[in-house]
Structure 1
Amino acid sequence: MAAEKHASVHWEGAGKTGKGQVSTETGALKDYPYGFASRFEDDKRGTNPEEIVGAAHAACFTMAFAFALEREGLAATKIDTRAAVRLAKDGDGFKIDRIALELDASVPNLDEARFQQIAAAAKAGCPLSKALASVPEITLKATLAG
């Protein structure tokens, strides 16, 4: 099975003063604004590529974790995942040098050691983790709620 998803961007203007709009085929993002201020400054009126990568990675990892639990005959009552994607200066440009995933999950009948194993395997096996393998540091802090 193969799935292909689509997204598009429209941009007008120069790098620092220009404006763009991001759209996805599902309509989850439709002409959603982004630009220099929402990427490099604290402008909350738009998104940025790192925020979108973080959301995608958190969503992918969470689903991989849920499937891994299911293979063990388990189901979570809740899974909450956050991703922090750091964009750092790299010579004349920039690079993503760290992604920190934080997982909080409630999983009945699962001990801490097995929980950590399943979470680590889900992180390693998630398609977005694989696609982002060039990021020097991808961390996971996994907390099992009682």
Structure 2
Amino acid sequence: MAQIKRRASAAWHGSGKDGTGSLTTQSATLKDTPYSYLARFGDGKGTNPEELIAAAHAGCFSMATAFQLSGAGHPPESLNCDATLSMDQVEGGFKISAVHLVLKAKVPGLDNAKFQELAQTAKANCPVSKVLNAEITLEATLVA
């Protein structure tokens, strides 16, 4: 497969704390979407980089899990994943220290041991997991 490239851009105006910015993605799913200090470090309106990384990780992991399950002959009926990203203040700034994935999966005819194995493989091999320099934990549950 050829190399895939995706683009996004950010525009920022003003100081770090009082300024505002906007994000636009190649697909235009995000188009001039606001982000700010308050959206990042408080409850301000708009998005922030960490929220977008959490969404990207949940989406990437869910798709990777679907491929793992389907490849093992057990296509999922549904996968629902929440990603909680933790960012800690460290010397010199901030660091994304961890992402906790919580997966609830409906997969007919699959036993829990095989499900756990396939979910762990998906976690390890999802491209977003590979790019993050953070502890990534997974809580995976098969639901009826």
TM-score (structure 2 length as normaliser): 0.97
Partner of 1:8: 9
1:17 maps to 18
Aligned counterparts, 1:6-85, within 5 A = 6-43=7-44, 45-85=45-85
Gaps of 5+ in 2: none
1:142 corresponds to which of 123, 140, 143: 140
Q: What is the distance in 1 between the residues matched to 2:90 and 2:103?
A: 29
Residue 108 of structure 1 aligns with an amino acid whose one-letter code is: P
Letter in 2 for 1:20: G
Quick one: which amino acid aligns to residue 74 of structure 1? H
Taking only the aligned residue pairs, the percentage that are identical comes to 47
The residue type paired with residue 37 of structure 2 is F
Spell out structure 1 runs of 4+ moving beyond 6 A.
none
Residue 29 of structure 1 deviates from its aligned partner by 0.6
Give, in angstroms, the shift of residue 98 of structure 1: 1.0
Code of the residue aligned with 2:142 in structure 1: it is L
Q: Which amino acid aligns with 2:42?
A: E
For this pair of structures, how many residues does the alignment match? 143
Could you report, residue by residue, the CA deviation over 1:52-93 in whole angstroms, capped at 9, with x for unpaired residues? 000001110000000011111111111000101111101131
Unmatched runs of 5 consecutive residues or more in structure 1: none
Taking the aligned partners of 2:91 and 2:72, their CA distance within structure 1 comes to 46
Q: Which residue of 1 aligns with 2:94?
A: 94
Give the superposed CA RMSD.
0.7
